[in-house]
Amino acid sequence: MPRLMSGEKSHFIDPLRFAHSKQRLEGSLQLRLMKRLQRLQDDGDTLHYRLLFDVDMAGFCSIESEIWVSVILQCQRCLKPSRFDIHKRNLLGVVNNQTEMAQLDSSYEPLLLEDGRLLLNEFIEDELLLALPVYPLHQRQECSGQTVLERINAESKPTPFAILESLKKDHH
Ligand SMILES: [Zn+2]
């Protein structure tokens, strides 16, 4: 099994050739090498991936992709760092043009490769970008903050106790 270690320069692979020999590719990639990951609070972690290449009944090259990584993102409630464990699996069908894309089974996510080659590190980075939570939040019990919406709700809805207190004050 080919093993690609992090730190290597991104290089092209030929998914069709890999598919015909049912290759399995495992490796790891350091987050600090991913230039488009600007939302990370810390890029010291390492992502692990596994790719399984195959050819389906219709002749399409399929890639079953799996990534595992732990990342630190800014919690949108308290704005402090929060750790997220990400494990994402995706099934991709390689297509070379729009016609093929239209024929692809809907269980696949289309992966358009115009020259038939796949830039490995970029591909893994795309998979991670899609897997990151859009609106990262701590677990409620671990979070010290309130979202803007929660703050507005808390301010605009007085508790029954507060209403009672204000009624009492009116009588004095
Ligand atoms: Zn938080």
- Can you give the pLDDT at residue 169? 67
Measure 54 CA to ligand 1 centroid, in angstroms: 42
Q: What distance in angstroms lies between residue 83's CA and the mean position of ligand 1's atoms? A: 10
pLDDT over 60 at 7, yes or no: no
pLDDT bin (cut points 50, 70, 90) of residue 6 is very low
What is the pLDDT confidence band of residue 52, given thresholds at 50, 70 and 90?
very high
What is the predicted pLDDT for the residue at 149?
72
The CA dihedral of 118, 123, 54, 88, to the nearest 10 degrees, is 180
Measure 146 CA to ligand 1 centroid, in angstroms.
8
Q: How far is the CA of 78 from the centre of ligand 1 (A)?
A: 4
Is there a domain that residue 107 lies in?
Answer: yes
Per the structure, the complete domain to which residue 9 belongs is given by 3-141
Residue at 47 is within a domain? yes
The structural domain count of the chain equals: 1
For residue 141, report the distance from its CA to the centre of ligand 1, in Å: 9
Can you give the pTM of this predicted structure? Answer: 0.77
**Of 110, 124, 91, which is closest to residue 13 (Cα–Cα)?**
124
Is the pLDDT assigned to residue 51 strictly greater than 80? yes
Tokens found for residue 71? 């990342």
Q: Are 124 and 67 in contact (CB under 8 A)?
A: yes
Residue 159 has pLDDT above 60, yes or no: yes
* CB-based contact 75:93 (threshold 8 Å): no
43, part of any domain: yes
Query: Does residue 3 register a pLDDT over 60?
Result: no
Does 171 fall in a domain? no
| Distance in Å, CA 90 to ligand 1 centroid | 29
Name residues with Cβ closer than 5 Å to ligand 1, which is an ion.
75, 77-78, 138, 143
In our burial notation (b when 16+ CB lie closer than 10 A, e otherwise), range 17-33 reads ebbeeebebebbbebeb
On the CB side of 119, CA atoms within 13 Å amount to: 8
69 pLDDT higher than 90: yes
pLDDT band with cut points at 50, 70 and 90 for residue 11: confident
Q: How many other CB atoms are there within 10 angstroms of residue 14's CB atom?
A: 14
Residue 158: inside a domain, yes or no?
no
Minimal CA–CA distance to 45: which of 150, 147, 153, 132?
Answer: 132
Residue corresponding to tokens 């990370």: 40
Looking only at the bridges linking them, the beta strands covering 24-30 and 12-13 are unpaired
Here the tokens at position 145 are 């903050």
Domain-located, residue 156: no
State in Å: Cα 136 to ligand 1 middle.
9
* Average pLDDT of the residues in 39-56: 93
CA of 72 from ligand 1 middle (Å) equals 12
